[in-house]
Amino acid sequence: MASVKKQSLGDPGGLNNSNNKRNSVRPVSPNSEEKPEADSGTSALRPLDHFKSVTVNRVSVPMVLYRRPLPQSCIAFASDEGKEIFKEALLSDHMACYFRLAAQFRTQDEPAYCGLATLVMVLNALEIDPGRVWKGPWKWYHEDMLDCCIPTQLVREQGITFDEFSCLADCNYLDTQPFRVDQSSNEDDFRNLVKEITLKEDTFLICSYSRRVLGQTGDGHFAPVSGYHPDKDLVLILDTARFKYPPHWIPLSLLFESMKALDQSTGLPRGYIQVWPAKQSKSLLLFKIAEQLSVNADPEVSEHCQRFLSTWTQLLSSPVEKMEAGDMSMVRQTLHGLVEMSRTLGMKTHVLSTQEHISCSSACSVKCVVEELLAELAETALFKSVSVEVLKLPPDDLNTLENIFARRGEAEEVKGGPGGTSVCCDMTPTLCLSHFVTIFLFTWPYSVSALSGTLGFVLQALSQKEQSRLSGTFLLDEIATLSRQLKKLTGFHSHVPPKSCGCKKKPLEEIGSKDSVESSSSAGKQGCSKKT
């Protein structure tokens, strides 16, 4: 019988022999100076224990997730039990708020957009006119349009806080009533409000809560209360993170407990916000609050703004120079004060600016509206007095004063032409410093407790007198809306110190658990936002 040559463990198939040298594989360290062995007719492959010292470079593959199972504390809306709860809740009339919200139910565009998506749902459900074109000829709210209080790029990176959500709602023509939930808060007060609001169609309740308390992955989240079952004491949550969890019912007591959890970025508990349409609040046509005054502006910019607000408040408290009837000397005093205050701001740290664009495709009436607004403003006695005093300012003072105000072309790049946004109402060449100063004085939220004889008292009286003479509505609406937004933002800057968010995303390799991977890569900061 012919003998069979025993195969080497490192030579599968017996292919590696003196006749098959080209098939041999030999691991060699990149820095090795080892010479190839002479052909001895034996296997050139190393035994398995040789590979113990070989370092293998692994390629990390990002975790990809599809949905999460609901914890036992939650009942899926589309489940058999969830459907029965819905039927029973309908009979109780505590689903009145559901239908308008369900008609606008959407999936958030970014992992950290739970707050913006929730607010968009509410704004469109309440049929609030954004005053801005979304696409084509259509005016419609979208998450990227909610940039009054905080730039959307920052929201995309870190989400929003409870106070920032309230500010955004106020700036977008909603009245708000926020409630912080702490250990002293009464659960029955919350339950009674839920019962009241779920009977209505024109007011909604937004909750900022911790997912962890519900047994869900992630942490901070925003969602609207969309229905209530009084007998089972269950609340319906329309979760905008539909890629993660479906709509579900949760116990009201558990939701209340989840709002007590502290927001790690602010150190404050979360809570709930009642929202409804603001009365007589119109969309801004031309002017807007500059991005630098947003509630989440760069800390250095916020510090400049706070210094400006503090100095401006002191100026308004100063005694006014003696005036005769019809004397506008307080305008001169105001301008000189503004010049001094503008020196406290960094270059181009603006307070007021103009809309990025006014898209009025085939609608010339929009252009007429903006022109009419400026015409109404130019006819006021305050504008005429401001114009006279501005002309007297030396060039250096003019340049300094322009740190507070920015025409659109100076602050932002306007895209037009093929593939860009058509801007057919470009009023930038028409605008001048006097327009900005006048609208600033008209819209500033003066203190009702201003003492008689102070500059603030006189300016407030003059503003009210001038507005009572206005026959048109465009300027009045612009003043009312801008004043409302300024009041909200200046109040925020006056009471909230500038902070560093401290919520930079960790590199994937630094994250240990699956939940952490989800938080940083597929579901934003701690589920939706570290801050929400």
- One domain, residues 140 and 37: no
358 plus 487 within the same structural domain: yes
- Based on the fold, state whether residues 168 and 126 are members of the same structural domain: yes
Q: Are residues 243 and 305 in the same domain?
A: no
Higher per-residue pLDDT: 393 or 508: 393
Residues 126 and 246 in one domain: yes
426 is catalytic: no
Question: Which CATH number does the domain housing residue 241 bear?
Answer: 3.90.70.30
In a domain, 65, yes or no: no
Least confident of 245-254, 266-275, 419-428, 518-527: 518-527
Q: Would 286 be classed as within a structural domain?
A: no
DSSP for 183-208, please give it.
Answer: TT--HHHHHHHHHHHTT-SS-EEEEE
Compute the distance between CA of residue 443 and CA of residue 145 in angstroms, rounded to an integer. 23
DSSP 347-363: TT--SEEE-S----TT-
| Catalytic site residue from 170, 239, 263, 515 | 239
Residue 372 resides in a domain: yes
Residues 6+ apart with CB under 8 A from 440: 351, 352, 404, 405
Whole-model pTM: value is 0.67
Given pLDDT bands bounded at 50, 70 and 90, which one contains residue 422? very low
Do 207 and 129 share a domain, yes or no?
yes
What residue numbers bound the domain in which 485 lies?
296-495
Which one has a higher pLDDT value, 26 or 99? 99
Residue 411 reports pLDDT greater than 90: no
Cα–Cα dist 503/211, whole Å: 18
Residues 441 and 460: their CA atoms lie apart, in Å, by 8
Q: What is the pLDDT of residue 54?
A: 52
Which residues lie across from 272 on neighbouring strands? 179, 207
φ, ψ (nearest 5 deg) of residue 469: -90, -15
Give the tens place of pLDDT for each residue, 189-226. 999 999 999 999 999 999 999 999 999 999 999 999 99
15, 148: one domain: no
Structural domain contains residue 130:
yes
On whether both 146 and 206 belong to a single domain, the answer is yes
User: How many Cβ atoms are within 10 Å of 219's Cβ, its own excluded?
Assistant: 26
Residues 6 or more apart from 100 whose CB is under 8 A from it? 125, 126, 201
Same domain, 134 and 198: yes
Catalytic residue (one of 74, 114, 360, 425): 114
**Are both 419 and 480 inside the same structural domain?**
yes
C-alpha 283/C-alpha 450 separation (Å) is 29
Say whether 239 is catalytic.
Answer: yes
* Gap between the Cα atoms of 188 and 179, Å rounded: 14
Does residue 301 share a domain with residue 226? no
Task: Give 80 or 160, the one with higher predicted confidence.
Answer: 80
Is 1 within a domain?
no
**Set 94, 142, 221, 493: catalytic member:** 221
**What is the total count of domains within the chain?**
3
Between 58-67, 165-174, 408-417, the lowest mean confidence (pLDDT) is in 408-417
pLDDT at 526 over 90: no
Q: Considering only residues 271 and 421, tell me which one the structure prediction assigns the higher pLDDT.
A: 271
Residues 19 and 109 in one domain: no
- On whether residue 289 sits in a domain, the answer given is no
Residue 344 lies in a domain: yes
Please, which residues have CB within 8 angstroms of residue 388's CB and are 6 or more apart in sequence?
none
Tell me what pLDDT residue 486 has: 87
Mean pLDDT of 476-500: 73
- Distance CA(178)–CA(163), nearest Å, equals 8
In a domain, 500, yes or no: no
Q: Are 82 and 238 in contact (CB under 8 A)?
A: no
- Tell me if residue 80 is catalytic: no
